[in-house]
Amino acid sequence: MLKNYIKIAFRNLWKDKSFTLLNVLGLSIAFAASLLLGMYALFDLSYDQFHKNKEDLFQVYYAEQKPGGQEVATSMPVPFAPALQQELPNIKHISRYISDHALNLEAGKELDLNLIFVDPDFFQMFSFETVLGTKEVLKDNAQISITEETAQKLFGKTEALGETLDLLINGRREVFTVGSILKDPPVTSGLRFDVAVNFSHSPNYTENLDRWDSRNHSVFIQLNEDATASDITQSAVSFTDLHYKGNIEDLKRDGAQPNANGNYLELHLLPFKDIHFADFKGHSLKVSRAYPYMILGIGLLILCIAGINFVNMSIARSAQRLREIGMRKTLGAAKKQLFFQFWSESVWVFMIALLLGIGISMALESSFRQLFNTPATLSHLSSPVLIGVLVGSFVVITFIAGGYPALVLSKLGTLKALKGKLDLAGKNRVRNTLMVVQFSIAIVLISGTLVLKKQLDFMRNKDLGFNKTQVVAVPLNGKRANRQDVALLRNELAGKPGILSVTASDNNLGLGKDGSTYFSRMGFDYKGRGVHTNMLVVDYDYPETLGLQLKEGRTFSRSYSGDSLSIVINEAMARELQEKDPVNKQIILDDSIKYTIVGVLKDYNFQSLNKKIEPISLFMKSDWDLYYAFVKVAPQNMAQTFESIEDAWKRIEPNAEFLGSFLDENIDRTFKRERTMTTIITSGSLIAIILSCIGLFAISMLVVTQRTKEIGVRKVVGASVAQITFLLTKDFVKLVGIAFLIAAPVAWWLLSQWLQDYEYRIELQLWIFLAAGLLAVFIALVTISFRTIRAALKNPVESLRTE
């Protein structure tokens, strides 16, 4: 029996070569696309999920009731973690965490290393496998852990226990002994490092040992198995009342309202497995896996379109199978047997398509990874569970797409089938509905493409308030003290052609090639109110180099001697201080030093574009460190000038890598997610369009065949080519029209949701959706016209004879 089915399946598939080809082509494209998208999405979802204790791991954060409403923050003071562990029950392990970098000073191997400061519990909590040495290594202050890759790089071998490391950390030189070797953290780890050092080596550790008002690190905890996050929040109330008394009183004084529980400051726990998906957006913490699910969704939509093609083509073609069905029934075939026969035919098509799809996805894997800038590989799909899921979804798709036509066919009455009568009206309704679904998907994806592109362009071209095209930022990753490097760079570049000015600050704009981001915020009391500001330490000429606009007053200048006590603020900060005329006003920071505001800058976007511009204050204190040099270049010969900056840096720090880049590159780098999303949705809609066209083409081919006689008769009685073409086309265009009416509101809603994430965003306009709809209509028209026009042009005598 099975052999018989297989035989007839392949003969049928062969007989309808063009349909088989279109189906296999469409399905294999869809399988390949959804495999790659699935790989990307599942990879993203697997971030940080490899920790064995992940269910009990959390990051601690505050929810503070500020006068303007709730704010959340993850930065903790140094005494926090030890106190919490002592005073609260159910905390099994706790570790503070700072990510920093260090320079290996050993001659000839001057390497910049990613370094983390953590507490000894860290390796008990997180599943970073210890290959050599013990997990308790950091209990010894002088010992450190390094990864295998680092060991290989530094010592040329992975068995490096007992070797010594001479590190320059934040300008301080320290020597450590390698106490354990770790497996390299998996690519799906959000915590990345080369070297782990005891937290007591972190910057300003001893000064901050008892200070609750200076917050500079994250805290991770592991709870006892039976404890929950809300237990901790509850039991921490007395803890915060005790240790944050001053804070809470300040909040009350500033007019903050307590939250629903009557608290001004609460501790909360964010599940560690959610960290990759969490967004601390000032006011609240949002955990959202929308991004990977959206990508997964696009993959599913593509599969859906290809599946619809398959269903539609199978049903449309079934007219040719009717006699066979009727005959088989009279020969004794049961419904079940017929169903199985037709279904197995589908299975073959799907199998071939799946194999081809896997082949295509493997062939495209590396270009996909480049295009979407992801370390995900198909091997991430190869866990037994995922393979199960994939096989399962394959079976489900095959079952639905192959099963529906099989069901329709097997249920036909014997006589009806024998007479070749198919209740076409009903089948056409199903077909039309499916085509509407298909085109709706295509229109949603096309509008998504247009909107994402527009938003991305908008963000790229937005005037950020500083000159991003002419300024190069150079991370100061050399061995010398950074201020010394800046001075040397100034000297080297002075008078060089194309160099306009040189300055420095402690923070970058956008995301540099060093890949590091950080922010520094400070709160203090001003006129009896708590105010907050971002802090930026700058060198002379900073506003001038970056092209920041001065609104009032002056900027730092060499002609004023006391500028180390001057600050320059932005308009947002002036508003925060509630000062109409802030110049010459004085503020007193915690350390009771008075600073005088000497100038106000126009607001500029020093942070990402999904944030409002926050208050910022520029300091020029020579005892605070600088981390980035900025060089403004002339617009002519920028490439040459850039090279001369690189050369200058190489002369100053021959062993350090030059990581300089133009600010517009840095800004662009922060749009990685948007860029990837745009590329994905663009390719997705392209594939959706191609697949819909394949389907439409096949259906138009069948409809034209079915109506050959009608066309002939109409021509004989005098219909023109144009009239016939219109007749054949209008039904399809109507479907696309209905699809537009359904898709446009859906797309509008989805996209406006997405845009909500951006403080600076484009307005949604009707024309975007109309354009998407018109594009769909146009593509549909072109696709159908291949067949319809040919049919309309055909000599009617011919078509009548063939009937």
Positions touching another protein (CB under 8 A) are 1, 4, 7-8, 11-12, 15, 323-324, 326-328, 330-334, 337, 414-415, 418
| Minimum distance from residue 329 beta carbon to another protein (Å) | 8
What minimum distance in Å lies between the beta carbon of 401 and another protein? Answer: 22
| Residue whose token pair is 């008075």 | 594
Q: Which is nearer to another protein, 415 or 722 (CB)?
A: 415
Q: How far is the CB of 726 from another protein (least distance, A)?
A: 36
Instruction: State how far the alpha carbon of 422 is from the alpha carbons of 309, 397, 440, 492, 634, in Å.
Output: 20, 25, 28, 86, 76
CB-nearer residue toward another protein: 15 or 709: 15
d(CA 710, CA 800): 9
Question: What distance in Å separates the CA atoms of residue 614 and residue 602, rounded to the nearest whole number?
Answer: 12
Q: How far is the CB of 315 from another protein (least distance, A)?
A: 19
> What does the alpha-carbon distance between residue 570 and residue 792 come to, in Å, rounded to a whole number?
70
Our separate counts of H helices and E strands in the chain read 26, 25
Q: How far is the CB of 23 from another protein (least distance, A)?
A: 18
Distance from C-alpha of 539 to C-alpha of 630, rounded to nearest angstrom? 10
Q: Minimum Å distance from CB 418 to another protein?
A: 7
> Cβ of residue 332: shortest distance to another protein, in angstroms?
3
Whether 104 contacts 178, CB under 8 Å: no
CA distance 554 to 577: 19
In angstroms, rounded to a whole number, what is the distance separating the alpha carbons of residues 732 and 734?
Answer: 5
**Strand ranges inside 650-770, DSSP E:** 661-662
In this complex, which beta carbon is closest to another protein, that of residue 26 or of residue 326?
Answer: 326
Question: What is the chain's percent helix, strand, coil content, to nearest 5?
Answer: 50, 20, 30
Using the minimum distance from each CB to another protein, give the nearer residue, 276 or 329.
Answer: 329
Question: Given the complex with another protein, which of 324 and 365 has the nearer CB atom?
Answer: 324
Question: Whose Cβ is closer to another protein: residue 259's or residue 344's?
Answer: 344
Give the C-alpha separation, 72 to 521, whole Å.
13
Residue nearer to another protein on the CB measure, 137 or 417: 417
Q: How many CB atoms lie within 10 A of CB 495?
A: 7
Strands 172-182 and 143-147 come out as parallel
Pairing of strands 172-182, 529-537: unpaired
How far apart (Å, rounded) are the C-alpha atoms in residues 690 and 696? 10
E-only strand ranges, 557-603: 566-570, 586-588, 594-601
- Residue 229 neighbours by CB distance under 10 Å: 17
Q: Which is nearer to another protein, 76 or 322 (CB)?
A: 322
Residue 15 beta carbon to another protein: minimum distance, rounded to whole angstroms: 7
Query: Least distance in Å: CB of 412 to another protein?
Result: 12
Residue 419 or 651 having the CB closest to another protein: 419
Least CB distance to another protein at residue 7 (A): 7
- Distance from C-alpha of 264 to C-alpha of 248, rounded to nearest angstrom: 6
CA dihedral 482, 487, 490, 492 (to 10 degrees): -100
Q: Using H for helix, E for strand and C for coil, what is the string for 501-554? A: EEEEECCCCCCCCCCCCCCCEEEEEECCEEEEEEEEEECCCHHHHHCCCEEEEC
Which of 414/564 has CB closer to another protein? Answer: 414
Least distance between another protein and beta carbon 30 (Å): 28
CB closer to another protein, 1 vs 260: 1
Q: Which is nearer to another protein, 10 or 749 (CB)?
A: 10
Residue 622, judged by CB atoms within 10 A of its CB (0-12, 13-18, 19+), counts as exposed
CB of 10 to another protein, least distance (A): 9
